[in-house]
Chains A and B, each alone.
Chain A
Amino acid sequence: MIGALPGIWLGSRFAFGLDGRTLKQAVAGLLLVVGGTTLYKALLPPETPAVVASGAAARTANAEMR
């Protein structure tokens, strides 16, 4: 909320000098990227917790060093 209110004000000021259609296309493009990334994350198998994953990597590295 603290960021959004000045953001809306800035966006509405900034938009006056730009082509509305181009802005909408840019936001739509951004939405497609964000939507695609979210879909990709949703279709991934359940994540291995980062701590477990880093722990496993560290163990492998230690074993190799030995």
Chain B
Amino acid sequence: MHGIGYTLAGLLVGAAVGATGVGGGSLMTPVLILFYGVAPALAVGTDLLFAAISKSFAVWLHRRNGSVDWRIVAWQAAGSVPAVLVTLWWLKSLDHGVTLDRLIKLTLSGAIVITALFTLFQEVIAERLRPSARLNSPKHDPRWQRGLTVASGVLIGTVVTISSVGAGVIGMMLLLLLYPRHEPIKLVGSDLAHAVLITAIAGLGHARLGTVDYSISAGC
């Protein structure tokens, strides 16, 4: 019975993603926790591995079209990969019970609300950024830009490892804020490539911690 339920959840979340590009992790993880009673850590680990596999197809396409800026990915990864590893180590040391569950739910709810607000105001923010980008381009100060890109990597890496949410919409909005003069398609490709990297590392880390359920991921 649960197998059909997981497939149905995948179908509904997939439809939301297909229609709007939003909702992969931010809908799937809470749906597993709230409606199917999956333990929060298990839902996060499973969603991370699922995201790494599903997003890698999109990255392959972007890479073929040359719409990935690998320098941005590298600078973000310089912050996010160590952050993911440190967060995994920290999660391992936490008491696997109420404390961990509460931490995941709190981080998850915060990340979902931020994702919702970014989704609502994405166009307004992007529009407002355009004039300031022309007047004061961050390209004039690459050290500032690189530093903030690494810092955004640390933030995304930490939030994604705890909640599985943040690599998509939040990552994209941070890139839009940091690189307003870049072509949006290149930012999408770079965000996806970075998302695959960190969700794969975090997902494998969660698998090592025993918080991945492969049957949920497959939908059976």
Contact = CB atoms under 8 A, between A and B. Distances in A.
A27 B11 CA distance: 15
A39 to B, nearest CB: 4
B219 A3 contact: yes
Nearest to B10: A3
A31 B110 CA distance: 11
Contacts of B23: 27, 30-31
Interface of A is mostly: helix
A27 B22 contact: yes
A8 B120 contact: no
A28 B11 contact: no
B86 interface: no
Interface residues of A, number: 36
A8 B123 CA distance: 23
B53 A1 contact: yes
B34 A37 contact: yes
A24 B13 CA distance: 14
Contacts of B7: 2-3
Interface of A: 1-15, 18, 20-21, 23-25, 27-32, 34-39, 41-42, 46
